[in-house]
Structure 1
Amino acid sequence: MHNDIRPFTLDIPQIEIDYLHDRLARARWAAEVPGTGWERGVPLDHLRELAHYWRTGYDWRAYESTLNAFGQYVTDIDGQRIHFLHVRSDHPDAKPLLITHGFPSSVAEFLHLIEPLVNPAEGQAFHVVAPSLPGYTLSTPLSDTGWAMARTARAWVELMSRLGYQRYAVHGGDVGAGISGLVASLDGDHVIGVHVVTDPLTAANTATFLPGMADRLNPDDPIDKLILTRMETFQRDGSGYLAIQNTRPQTIGYGLVDSPLLQLAWIAEKVKEWTDLPVDRDQLLTTASLYWFTGSGSTAAHTLYDQAHSSDWGAPPTVPQGFAVFGADETVRRVVPAPANAHWTEFPRGLHFPAMEAPAELAGDLRKFFGPLT
């Protein structure tokens, strides 16, 4: 068993970058039906512009250097190669913080969040540990089946133990929120608290998969009616990407690994639908590039299949819990299971990707929640 932690330097061969540019230059474009827009998928003009910039304007080497400057490492846990960023603070009171991305994302989601956490102008500082999910980008190849949230959480507990952190904080969004809650549940003796981000759309979408949630909501109550409407809309119009990955990940995987346009559209669609504040285009393309260069669109899909077929949800955490709600409205507290003494902060703007949309606000809430905890 390999318990060692090894420094990792990202260095994509130039031939791979040239190949990406060549594929983008020779792309075959799907015809667009007149009079249609985002309701049928990523519009042609939007994807053309984004792909053109990916080929002619985006500087992969600059972002490769940025990731390398953070400090990258790999280790093997439960037979799986795990890649992670590890950025230590110079502040003497810094607390270890494990942050986990979701789908369709990568550690590049945290490019603008890490610095204000590690070197804040004031308030609590953190040593940041940001792993890549198994099967995603640099945590590849995927070793075997079964990498659902619970198994990943157990790997994260082992990772923090290997790093020597006896007391640490955990944070995540999307799939990363579920994993963070499981880490807190599994390792409550070492976790000081768990903080997750959510938004009204995500809360309603998640409620779709919670057994009995629809039955607990009253269609005559205006707030419950709004939740039920969002759940129905997600099932009808917003869950196609998930349905195919939850059932046929290998089939969609061929296209994601072979076509940079499909991989780009697969990510860009969700970023557009799940944000309401501007997202750095280069940051989005860094994630798209990581998926493309590692061919991990397929293996990420396989982990979603494994989660959809898993019944290992763990127990609720008993450590302090914090929730940051972006694009807040009255529905989230009705849906999200939380203890009565939970920390809540509600932000009027931002949605699913606050680390990209509103990193200063998210960093501030992490300092506010974890600062008093020991």
Structure 2
Amino acid sequence: MSSLPFSAPPWPVPASAKLTSSTISVPDGEIERLKTLLKLSPIPSANIWNSRDDGAFGLPRKTLTELVEYWANGYDWKKWEATLNSIPQLDITVTDDDAKDYKINSLALFSKNPAAVPILFLHSWPGSVVEYLPILQKLKSEYDPESLPYHIIVPHHIGFGFSDAPPLDKPFTHIDNARLMSKMMHSLGFGKTGYMTQGGDLGGWTAPVIANIDPACKLVHMSMLNISPPPGEDVEEGIKAGKYTPDEIAAFGRMANFQKKETAFIQLDGTKPATAGYIFGSNPIALLAWIGDKMHRWSDETPSKDLTLTNIALYWFTGCYPTSIYLHLTVLEDHELMMNAWKTLKVPLGHSAFKKELVTAPERWIQQTEQVKWYRMHDKGGHFAALEEPDALWKDVEDFIGAFWEK
């Protein structure tokens, strides 16, 4: 295993798991190939839609041009590769119920503290482990392996990053991913101690599935929660009657706008995943325009150029976009299956509500759910909460653990 601090799992790992340390090392030739493609691929001429500064119809051409120029001539992948490699990484093989093996790649900080609480952080779409890099760096700087009160595991989902791709012979959903993540946590020994899961978007939809199938998962925390109006609630009448705050009314407007104007990715990825894979998996400018649009539109404050490009570069260098979009077929065909596993939770659910998240519910609705035992409202932050507001999210996770983890 790696000689980096925090790299030693606290429990013996079965030989069948084939646990190995891992580092990212993109060949120089692949970096140069990317730069060549960026320079040779034309950006379409200005038109009425791509010239708009508000990005309502896609990433503005001016923004895209600046990002492409920076990616080709200013951005330093090797610097960010070294940053990612400063966090211990591991590859672990998990055998599924059908005897098929899958490699899961994770960033991890393991503690030597016998009371450390294991936390499985699960990234979003179109995110990656980069979302949790600020939290990992924060913990690495504030603790040493002896004092860290947590074990932190941040995997790439199956079909993302450096984890294995889904199978070729059958569909693969977040439920399959949840099962494999649970098996991974048991291979790492956390079936003995229990663990908690945290995520938003895809990660948040996967986290409660894990708790529903694995008694060792003791807590779930979600930063995006699809809560329907209480029975008999007429939202429009409630707005007229003054039952909702201005912020809650604005949130209703954002959700309505998202459903009307921001779901092209679900339609494309969910109906023509092969075509979407060809388009965004073969051209880095197309990939940048597509994912960059989401990172700009769905964030409260736009992430830095470097963080935006590092996230997108992981998709490019691993070639994972075509398999990262399997979830959208599930969203399109069975919305309830994808998003509502939290409704059957038997363990405490914590929720952080960030003001500019795509889906937010009024505080009164949150209070009326049976499952949400702890929540906190935030006056800023968007879809990529771990990346945008790492300190706030981490404090919420710690406070939730402090309130509900049974020692």
TM-score in terms of structure 1 length: 0.88
Aligned residue number for residue 7 of structure 1: 21
Q: What is the SS of the residue equivalent to 1:322?
A: strand
Aligned residue number for residue 349 of structure 1: 380
Aligned residue number for residue 267 of structure 1: 291
Aligned residue number for residue 326 of structure 2: 302
Aligned residue number for residue 8 of structure 2: none
CA–CA separation in structure 1 for the residues paired with 2:43 and 2:365? 41
Query: 5 Å matches for 1:224-373?
Result: 229-309=253-333, 311=337, 314=341, 316-327=344-355, 331-333=361-363, 338-339=369-370, 342-372=373-403, 373=405
Please state how far the C-alpha of 1:296 moved relative to its aligned partner: 1.0
Aligned residue number for residue 85 of structure 2: 68
Aligned residue number for residue 186 of structure 1: 213
Question: Unaligned stretches of 5+ in structure 1?
Answer: none
CA–CA separation in structure 1 for the residues paired with 2:252 and 2:392? 29
Aligned residue number for residue 164 of structure 1: 189
Please state how far the C-alpha of 1:341 moved relative to its aligned partner: 5.9
- 87, 111, 114: which one aligns with 2:136: 114
Please state how far the C-alpha of 1:121 moved relative to its aligned partner: 6.8
Please state how far the C-alpha of 1:184 moved relative to its aligned partner: 1.5
Closer/same/farther in 2, CA of residues 107 and 6 from structure 1, 3 Å limit:
same
Please state how far the C-alpha of 1:230 moved relative to its aligned partner: 4.1
1:133 matches 2:157: yes
Closer/same/farther in 2, CA of residues 326 and 225 from structure 1, 3 Å limit:
closer
Q: What is the SS of the residue equivalent to 1:83?
A: strand
CA–CA separation in structure 1 for the residues paired with 2:38 and 2:293? 18
Please state how far the C-alpha of 1:97 moved relative to its aligned partner: 0.5
Please state how far the C-alpha of 1:116 moved relative to its aligned partner: 3.0
Closer/same/farther in 2, CA of residues 20 and 332 from structure 1, 3 Å limit:
farther
CA–CA separation in structure 1 for the residues paired with 2:90 and 2:61? 38
**In the alignment, is the contact (CA less than 8 A) between 2:107 and 2:154 conserved in 1?**
yes
- 171, 174, 182: which one aligns with 1:146: 171
Worse-matched range after superposition: 64-73 or 303-312: 303-312
Aligned residue number for residue 30 of structure 1: 44
The residue type equivalent to 2:178 in the other structure is A
Closer/same/farther in 2, CA of residues 368 and 119 from structure 1, 3 Å limit:
farther
Q: Which has the higher contact order (CA 8 A, sep 6+)?
A: 1
Which structure's CA Rg is the greater one?
2
CA–CA separation in structure 1 for the residues paired with 2:251 and 2:352? 19
CA–CA separation in structure 2 for the residues paired with 1:217 and 1:143? 44
Question: Unaligned stretches of 5+ in structure 2?
Answer: 1-14
Cα deviations by residue, 1:101-141 (Å, 9 ceiling, x for unpaired)? 01001001111011334564799832111111111121233
Cα deviations by residue, 1:49-72 (Å, 9 ceiling, x for unpaired)? 111111122111122122222121
Query: 5 Å matches for 1:203-214?
Result: 206=226
Aligned residue number for residue 81 of structure 1: 103
Please state how far the C-alpha of 1:217 moved relative to its aligned partner: 4.0
Please state how far the C-alpha of 1:190 moved relative to its aligned partner: 1.4
Q: What is the SS of the residue equivalent to 2:380?
A: coil
CA–CA separation in structure 1 for the residues paired with 2:364 and 2:265? 26
Closer/same/farther in 2, CA of residues 140 and 263 from structure 1, 3 Å limit:
farther
1:218 matches 2:218: no
Closer/same/farther in 2, CA of residues 47 and 226 from structure 1, 3 Å limit:
closer
Q: What is the SS of the residue equivalent to 1:194?
A: strand
- The alignment of Structure 1 onto Structure 2 pairs a total of residues equal to 364
Q: What is the SS of the residue equivalent to 2:258?
A: helix
Q: What is the SS of the residue equivalent to 1:192?
A: strand
Please state how far the C-alpha of 1:143 moved relative to its aligned partner: 2.2
Closer/same/farther in 2, CA of residues 183 and 217 from structure 1, 3 Å limit:
farther
TM-score in terms of structure 2 length: 0.81
Please state how far the C-alpha of 1:88 moved relative to its aligned partner: 1.2
Please state how far the C-alpha of 1:186 moved relative to its aligned partner: 1.5
Please state how far the C-alpha of 1:228 moved relative to its aligned partner: 5.7
Please state how far the C-alpha of 1:332 moved relative to its aligned partner: 3.8
The residue type equivalent to 1:153 in the other structure is A
Closer/same/farther in 2, CA of residues 306 and 331 from structure 1, 3 Å limit:
closer
Cα deviations by residue, 1:323-374 (Å, 9 ceiling, x for unpaired)? 1111179834456684266111111011111211111111111111112412
Output the aligned Cα RMSD. Answer: 2.8
The residue type equivalent to 1:170 in the other structure is T
CA–CA separation in structure 1 for the residues paired with 2:377 and 2:235? 24
Please state how far the C-alpha of 1:221 moved relative to its aligned partner: 1.1
Q: What is the SS of the residue equivalent to 1:96?
A: strand
**In the alignment, is the contact (CA less than 8 A) between 1:32 and 1:43 conserved in 2?**
no
**In the alignment, is the contact (CA less than 8 A) between 2:122 and 2:200 conserved in 1?**
yes
Cα deviations by residue, 1:176-216 (Å, 9 ceiling, x for unpaired)? 011111112212x3123111113xxxx5xx56xx7x99985
The residue type equivalent to 2:348 in the other structure is P
Q: What is the SS of the residue equivalent to 1:70?
A: coil
Q: What is the SS of the residue equivalent to 1:221?
A: helix
Instruction: Give identity over the alignment, percent.
Output: 27
**In the alignment, is the contact (CA less than 8 A) between 1:328 and 1:347 conserved in 2?**
no
**In the alignment, is the contact (CA less than 8 A) between 1:194 and 1:322 conserved in 2?**
yes
